[in-house]
Amino acid sequence: MRWIEIGNLNDIPRRGARCVATPVGKIAVFRTGDDRVFAMEDHCPHKGGPLSQGIVHGAAVTCPLHNWVISLENGQAIGADEGSVQTIPVKCEGETLFISLDELGRERAA
Amino acid sequence: MKEKLIIIGNGMAPGRMLEHLFERAPDRYQVTIFNAEPRVNYDRIMLSPVLSGEKEFEEIVIHGDGWYIDHGITLYKGHKIVEIDREAKTVRSDHGVTESYDKLVIATGSVPFILPVPGNDMPGVLTYRDLDDVDAMILAAQSHAKAVVIGGGLLGLEAAAGLQMRGMDVTVLHLMPTLMERQLDPSAGYLLQRALEDRGIKVKTKAETKAVIGKGKAEAVELADGSTIDADLVVMAAGIRPNAWLAKEAGLETGRGIVVDHGMRTEDPDILAIGECAEVGGHTYGLVAPLYEMAKVAAAQLAGDTEAAFVHSDTPTKLKVTGIDLFSIGDFADGEDREEIVLRDATAGVYKRLILKDNRIIGSVLYGETADGAWFNDLKKREVDVSEMRDTLIFGQAYQGSAPLDPMAAVAALPDDAEICGCNGVCKGKITEAIASEGLSCLEDVRTHTKASASCGSCTGLVEQLIAATLGDAYTPNEIQPVCGCTELGHDEVRRLIKAKGLKTIPEVMQELEWKTSCGCAKCRPALNYYLVCDWPNEYADDYQSRFINERVHANIQKDGTYSVVPRMWGGVTNADQLRTIADVVDKYDIPTVKVTGGQRIDMLGIKKEDLPSVWGDLGKAGFVSGHAYAKGLRTVKTCVGTDWCRFGTQDSTGLGIRIEKFMWGSWTPAKVKMAVSGCPRNCAEATCKDVGVICTDAGFEIHFAGAAGLDIKGTEVLGHVETEDEALEHIVALVQMYREQGHYLERIYKWVKRVGLDEVRQQIMEDQEKRIAFFDRFVFSQKFAQCDPWSERVSGKDKHEFKPMAALELEAAE
């Protein structure tokens, strides 16, 4: 797996998110209140809302367009809604963040 | 002919005595009361919430003027009795009124203990006893200066907490090594001290006051160790003394108090004494429960039941400082023949200690978690042998064998004689019986009929559970919609507790109000953020991560993830420069859609997030500021052209609209607020379907409110008529502030009004000038912190991270 550096943990506010622009689309990178980091496509399974603009709570984000709640851990919609977002591997070494687009690239290529 | 009953004193004990007496012998006495205080009977134990601002005086009145009239009582307010003539059977007041009695009840209460130190009578030295003291303290607190409270007992600490909540810098001086040493053991005293210090109250123990010093008024307190502490206000709360001098002057036997037998009778068969001034069986009392017991006995005696007798019992102590839970009862001293069980949870700030003798509880001290207080008290009272459950006793009732964890079942399992309300001595059986016989179905009814939870209110939860357990499915509590799944509390309760507990951050609210999730959800966080912004305008740091995206980036998100931008056009008025700037911006950023809004402004749609700061920068150069078209806050004030151009216009509606908008922009509200001002009743600005609208007439301004033209369509209600523009502004601002303080998050004005009642709003805004001005002033204060243009802030770099991707990966890097 190839890891690409995307920045520092502190670039993302706690309980917030930032975007990473990539050739295969925008990736939302989330930081939870307890400093865990998650990444997924910035695209709600419902109507494509930018999840990076939602409110982060626990290990979930609420989409700003129609309030779907998406689990950051597995990309699945929580509650009555059904759908899922492609999650992206992300790691934090020290305070430096890396993501891997390997899986995303493969999926797109297929 | 009725017998004449005179009562000296109008506190809680004689008030309760009369209630019992009127029940038992309604027509026997013609009652006259002399009250040294110039007012009716009120709940003295609730003075602390009045001091802290959590309650108003009106809320703690027990008997209003009407009650005295209804019972034919003559009440002399502000009359102090100076002499009892036992031979003539008369009393004389300091105003020279003399009345004769057949029976006399002395209920003169107690007087605060004034430390016999130099300077104790200087201006700025107060005691804490009645409403006048509280009023004086509230007045002193307005200066936000320094206060010293002498005395770290119940009274002193409640005074200290109240003054601190009023904004004073408070130091508590206590002679003993730990606080409340008569009710708490040193460990609990220490936890209490720490909790007070966490709130910013300074505590100095082993502090012996030597003098109050100052030139002409109190300026500092000098201690025996030579140190001094600055103080603009000194409150002496070092204890009370039974007020027995009147009885002593009259030749009655006195000890610490007025000596009475168990029937509350003095040695003079026609004179009784009750309350804090009475000494029975060698004890005097200061807590309300035994005083109410005395009241009951005295009423029975006066009604002819000579058997009625007062029985001594321990009363649990609770501190009425919101957010501090402590409970103590009985004897908790160490001793050779005693065992103790202690539980500590440092992180949770919990300390529990039970003192056992011969396998029976004789005392307990609970700090931080007091839910089992009633149960421990009950075991103690019934002298239950606890050896069977000794190992788990300290964990409380929920852990006992098959006993259920459900609090409802725990209440159901209590025996009938278990005490529920300590203040009024109401046991479970009395409540369940009243529910059955009177057909009671709600808390208010139970309060009225049994007095349970009618005094300090700390047993309210227990009473509610008991009603629920008794009625089962038939009980429908006032259905409170929780804010969200993260809490059981409704919006009102959350708002009340934020104020009462002085909670000033979201984590604090979640901790103190026991949120069920670690950091809330997308429903509660924006609500809490708003409540904190509204309640603590100068102290709270807005949490942008708890704001919906539109308010976080100050633009409206669209379905494709782009944004729309609406600059403010004051009162809907624009000019060529502004229009030219907008045209240039539209060209420069290739903005796909430009549209005129319903609120008389121009909306630019389809702007990429990254472009927002530079779009605002360009707009700002032409003087545009954010129109808050995205905000739960003041949106637009729509106007017509009024007297400037219109041949029918009666007032300068455009000018008033602009004035209102310039005064109120930037304020956050529970939901959006749209306004309009029409220059005549033809109403071209459509003011009668707005949250707040004004219709100008020749005679002045008709203020409308609570309209809606969205999901619901609703014409406005008339708030009232005012004559000048200044008044119109004042009333509108006050109305919006009232809504800001009471509205539930996302609740529009018309819904809020439906909930609190039109008349209530009219009364507070149109009729109660004092309230109106207070609302107005609070709005003005909060605007000091709200009126800064969010766009120019971001143009100059604030929240830069919001508008840029954290990284832009090239194709090669991604490959």
- CA angle (B258 as vertex; B253, B262 as ends), nearest 5: 100
Does residue B186 surpass a pLDDT of 90? Answer: no
CB contact under 8 A, A15 and B519: yes
pLDDT band at B401 (very low <50, low <70, confident <90, very high): low
> Quick one: pLDDT at residue B478?
61
> Quick one: pLDDT at residue A27?
95
Q: What is the pLDDT of residues B305-317, one digit of tens each?
A: 989 999 888 778 7
Does residue B196 surpass a pLDDT of 80? Answer: yes
> Quick one: pLDDT at residue B813?
52
Q: Least CA distance to B807: which residue of chain A? A: A20
Q: Least CA distance to B516: which residue of chain A? A: A58
> Best-predicted range by mean pLDDT among A90-104, B335-349, B670-684?
B670-684
Does residue B347 surpass a pLDDT of 80? Answer: no
Give the DSSP H or E segment for B427: strand B426-427
> Quick one: pLDDT at residue B101?
95
- Mean pLDDT for the stretch of residues B119-148: 89
pLDDT band at B477 (very low <50, low <70, confident <90, very high): low
Residue B810: list chain A partners with CB under 8 A: 23
Question: Quick check: A66 contacting B, CB < 8 Å?
Answer: no
- Alpha carbon B523 to chain centroid distance? 25
Q: What is the pLDDT of residues B163-177, one digit of tens each?
A: 998 889 999 999 988
Task: State the smallest CA–CA distance between residue B525 and chain A in angstroms.
Answer: 9
Q: Are A95 and A10 in contact (CB under 8 A)?
A: yes
Q: For chain A, what is the mean pLDDT?
A: 90
Mutation target vs A (from B483, B505, B519, B521; most A CBs, 10 A cutoff):
B519
CB contact under 8 A, B517 and A57: yes
Q: Look at A51 and B513; give whichever has higher pLDDT.
A: A51
* Domains of chain A, earliest start first: 4-109 (2.102.10.10)
Q: For chain B, what is the mean pLDDT?
A: 89
Q: Of B572, B658, B585, nearest to B620 (Cα)?
A: B585
Q: Look at B448 and A31; give whichever has higher pLDDT.
A: A31
* Domains of chain B, earliest start first: 3-110+242-302 (3.50.50.60), 125-238 (3.50.50.60), 491-547 (no CATH), 550-631 (3.90.480.10), 634-788 (3.30.413.10)
Does residue B620 surpass a pLDDT of 50? Answer: yes
Residue B814: list chain A partners with CB under 8 A: 4, 22-24, 101, 105
- CA angle (B362 as vertex; B357, B366 as ends), nearest 5: 120
CB contact under 8 A, B545 and A65: no
pLDDT band at B404 (very low <50, low <70, confident <90, very high): very low
Closest CB from A23, A55, A60 relative to B546: A55
Closest CB from A4, A5, A62 relative to B522: A62
Does residue B413 surpass a pLDDT of 90? Answer: no
Query: For residue B573, what are the CA distances in angstroms to B241, B390, B532, B690, B767?
Result: 70, 78, 34, 19, 34
Task: State the smallest CA–CA distance between residue B133 and chain A in angstroms.
Answer: 47
> Quick one: pLDDT at residue B418?
81
CB contact under 8 A, B549 and A54: yes
Question: Quick check: A47 contacting B, CB < 8 Å?
Answer: yes
Q: Please, which contacts does B727-730 make with residues 24 or more away whose CB atoms are closer than 8 Å?
A: B727/B701, B728/B656, B728/B694, B728/B700, B728/B701, B728/B703, B729/B656, B729/B659, B729/B660, B729/B663, B730/B772, B730/B773, B730/B776
pLDDT band at B419 (very low <50, low <70, confident <90, very high): confident
> Quick one: pLDDT at residue B140?
86
Residue A56: list chain B partners with CB under 8 A: 545
| Beta strand residue intervals within B618-660, DSSP E | 634-639
Whole-number Å distance between alpha carbons of B172 and B204: 6
Percent of chain B with pLDDT over 90: 55
- Mean pLDDT for the stretch of residues B232-261: 92
Does residue A64 surpass a pLDDT of 70? Answer: yes
Question: Quick check: B814 contacting A, CB < 8 Å?
Answer: yes
- In DSSP terms, A39 is beta-bridged to A29, A88
CB contact under 8 A, A64 and B559: no
Task: State the smallest CA–CA distance between residue A109 and chain B in angstroms.
Answer: 12
CB contact under 8 A, B519 and A105: no
Residue B525: list chain A partners with CB under 8 A: 55, 57
For chains A and B, count residue pairs whose Cβ atoms are closer than 8 Å.
98
Q: What is the pLDDT of residues B564-589, one digit of tens each?
A: 999 999 999 999 999 999 999 999 99
- Mean pLDDT for the stretch of residues B738-760: 93
Q: Are B221 and B234 in contact (CB under 8 A)?
A: yes
Mutation target vs B (from A55, A103, A107; most B CBs, 10 A cutoff):
A55
Question: Quick check: B475 contacting A, CB < 8 Å?
Answer: no
Question: Which 8-state DSSP code applies to residue B280?
Answer: E
Percent of chain A with pLDDT over 70: 95
- Mean pLDDT for the stretch of residues B675-682: 95
Q: Please, which contacts does A82-86 make with residues 24 or more away whose CB atoms are closer than 8 Å?
A: A83/A44, A83/A45, A83/A46, A84/A45, A85/A40, A85/A41, A85/A43, A85/A44, A85/A45, A85/A51, A86/A40, A86/A41
Does residue A108 surpass a pLDDT of 60? Answer: no
> Quick one: pLDDT at residue B416?
85
Does residue A11 surpass a pLDDT of 70? Answer: yes
- CA angle (B146 as vertex; B143, B149 as ends), nearest 5: 120
Question: Quick check: B453 contacting A, CB < 8 Å?
Answer: no
pLDDT band at B555 (very low <50, low <70, confident <90, very high): very high
Helix (H, G, I), strand (E, B) or coil at B429: helix
**B440 C-beta neighbours (distance < 10 Å), count:** 21
> Best-predicted range by mean pLDDT among B128-132, B504-508, B525-529?
B525-529
Q: Please, which contacts does B461-466 make with residues 24 or more away whose CB atoms are closer than 8 Å?
A: B462/B374, B462/B411, B462/B420, B463/B420, B463/B421, B463/B431, B465/B407, B465/B408, B465/B411, B466/B411, B466/B420, B466/B428, B466/B431, B466/B432
Residue B544: list chain A partners with CB under 8 A: 13
Interface of A with B in 18-37 (CB under 8 A): 18-24, 26, 29, 32-34
CB contact under 8 A, A22 and B814: yes
Does residue B479 surpass a pLDDT of 80? Answer: no
Edge-first strand listing for the sheet containing A90-93: A4-8, A96-99, A90-93
Query: Residues with Cβ < 8 Å from B45, sequence gap 6 or more?
Result: B12, B288, B320, B423, B455, B456
Residue B553: list chain A partners with CB under 8 A: 53
Does residue B403 surpass a pLDDT of 50? Answer: no
> Quick one: pLDDT at residue A110?
43
Q: Of B388, B328, B6, nearest to B180 (Cα)?
A: B328
Does residue A54 surpass a pLDDT of 70? Answer: yes
Mutation target vs B (from A57, A96, A103; most B CBs, 10 A cutoff):
A57
Mutation target vs A (from B506, B550, B551, B809; most A CBs, 10 A cutoff):
B809
> Quick one: pLDDT at residue B321?
74
- In DSSP terms, B29 is beta-bridged to B3
pLDDT band at B340 (very low <50, low <70, confident <90, very high): confident
Closest CB from B518, B560, B814 relative to A33: B518
Task: State the smallest CA–CA distance between residue A102 and chain B in angstroms.
Answer: 8
> Quick one: pLDDT at residue B268?
93
Task: State the smallest CA–CA distance between residue B630 and chain A in angstroms.
Answer: 13
> Quick one: pLDDT at residue A105?
60
Question: Quick check: B525 contacting A, CB < 8 Å?
Answer: yes
CB contact under 8 A, B545 and A16: yes
Edge-first strand listing for the sheet containing B317-318: B317-318, B326-330, B360-367, B350-357, B338-345
Does residue B379 surpass a pLDDT of 50? Answer: yes
> Best-predicted range by mean pLDDT among B200-209, B366-375, B658-667?
B658-667
Residue A69: list chain B partners with CB under 8 A: 521-522
Q: What is the pLDDT of residues B264-301, one digit of tens each?
A: 999 999 999 999 999 999 888 888 888 999 999 999 99
- Mean pLDDT for the stretch of residues B660-683: 96
Closest CB from A48, A60, A64 relative to B549: A64
Residue B390 φ/ψ region, left for φ over 0, alpha for ψ in the -120 to 50 degree band, beta for the rest: alpha
> Quick one: pLDDT at residue B512?
83
Does residue B644 surpass a pLDDT of 80? Answer: yes
Whole-number Å distance between alpha carbons of B313 and B647: 82
Burial class (CB in 10 A: 0-12, 13-18, 19+), B424: buried
Query: Which amino acid is present at A35?
Result: D
**B321 C-beta neighbours (distance < 10 Å), count:** 25
Q: Least CA distance to B808: which residue of chain A? A: A21
- CA angle (A51 as vertex; A49, A55 as ends), nearest 5: 120
Residue B805: list chain A partners with CB under 8 A: 18-21, 26
Q: Are B125 and B211 in contact (CB under 8 A)?
A: no
pLDDT band at B380 (very low <50, low <70, confident <90, very high): confident
Closest CB from A15, A19, A23 relative to B545: A15
Question: Quick check: A90 contacting B, CB < 8 Å?
Answer: no
Task: State the smallest CA–CA distance between residue A13 and chain B in angstroms.
Answer: 8
The region of weakest confidence among B50-59, B165-174, B210-219 is B50-59
Q: What is the pLDDT of residues B769-791, one digit of tens each?
A: 999 999 999 999 999 999 999 99
Whole-number Å distance between alpha carbons of B482 and B181: 40
Closest CB from B520, B549, B809 relative to A22: B809
Q: Least CA distance to B804: which residue of chain A? A: A19
> Quick one: pLDDT at residue B57?
87
Query: Which amino acid is present at B365?
Result: V
Query: Residues with Cβ < 8 Å from B707, sequence gap 6 or more?
Result: B688, B689, B690, B691, B693, B714, B715, B716, B717, B750
| Beta strand residue intervals within B151-208, DSSP E | 169-173, 202-204
Say which residue the tokens 């809302």 belong to.
Answer: A49
Closest CB from B553, B806, B815 relative to A19: B806
Backbone angles phi, psi at B565, to 5 degrees: -130, 130
Question: Quick check: A80 contacting B, CB < 8 Å?
Answer: no
CB contact under 8 A, A57 and B525: yes
